[in-house]
Structure 1
Amino acid sequence: MSDQDTADTAADLWPTIDELWDRLEATRKHAGPEGVLLRILKLSEEVGEVAEAVIGATGQNPRKGVTHTWEDVQGELCDVAITALVALRTLTPEAREVFEAHLKGVRARPLTPPA
């Protein structure tokens, strides 16, 4: 992927998250606080799929053997990130600003504990 492709993808992130959110809102079965909670709980389901893919990629289930690839794990991790951003967008229309401010704070944290 070229630097331009990466820049284009980054520029498309939040419009894409908004589009996904709009599509989900149009089909949401539960409104109000219950709907928000269910959208956040979807994140747990996606994390479980990451775990399943890691177990499958490493062949840790002796009954099943190797059932996934590391590319499957990558895809599941992407699903977690997308689901988290959509859940954040569900909580606030200012999801981009909230995320970017939080990311800036995380980036500024030291990697080692203070002496």
Structure 2
Amino acid sequence: MTDTWQTIARLAGRLEDHSTLPREQRILLQLLKIQEEAGEVAEAVIGAMGQNPRKGHSHTWKDVEAEICDVIVTGMVALTRMNSEAATVFQRHMEGLVARDQNEAEGAAAQ
């Protein structure tokens, strides 16, 4: 994952270098970008299921996977733009998820 976070840092840095907006606005726009990408996931799902009468089957499930990856990358970039220690923040969050999952699994097994 180190290479992934290095790539994310480069992408975030490029975005930072490109913008002249105040930091708070840059972060806000990056957070809105997550929603934009999530909308593209929805569009791809609708297209993969052929549920847009004008477009028919305009996407594949591979397209949906690619759009989900875009959401993930955009979220990682947002976290990096908010906190230079994004990889550590994410790792701690994952450790919390693992602990919660283990606790829930143990609780279910005890019942």
User: Into which bin does the TM-score normalised by the smaller protein fall?
Assistant: 0.7 to 0.9
Map of 2:45 onto structure 1: 54
Point out where structure 1 has 5 or more consecutive residues left out of the alignment.
1-9
Aligned residues: percent identity?
49
Map of 2:34 onto structure 1: 43
C-alpha root-mean-square deviation of aligned residues, in Å? Answer: 1.6
Shift of 1:24: 0.8
Shift of 1:35: 1.3
Give 1:51-90 correspondences, 5 Å limit: 51-90=42-81
Shift of 1:30: 1.8
- Give 1:47's aligned amino acid: A
Shift of 1:62: 1.7
Counterpart CA distance in 2 for 1:49 and 1:31 is 27
In the comparison of the two structures, how many residue pairs are matched?
A: 106
Counterpart CA distance in 2 for 1:41 and 1:11 is 26
Give 1:18-29 correspondences, 5 Å limit: 18-29=9-20
Moved more, 27-36 or 60-69: 27-36
- Give 1:95's aligned amino acid: A
Q: Does 1:103 align with 2:98?
A: no
TM-score between both structures, scaled by the size of structure 1: 0.85
Q: Deviations over 1:77-106 (max 9, x none)?
A: 000000000000011000000000001111
**Is the partner of 1:62 in helix, strand or coil?**
coil
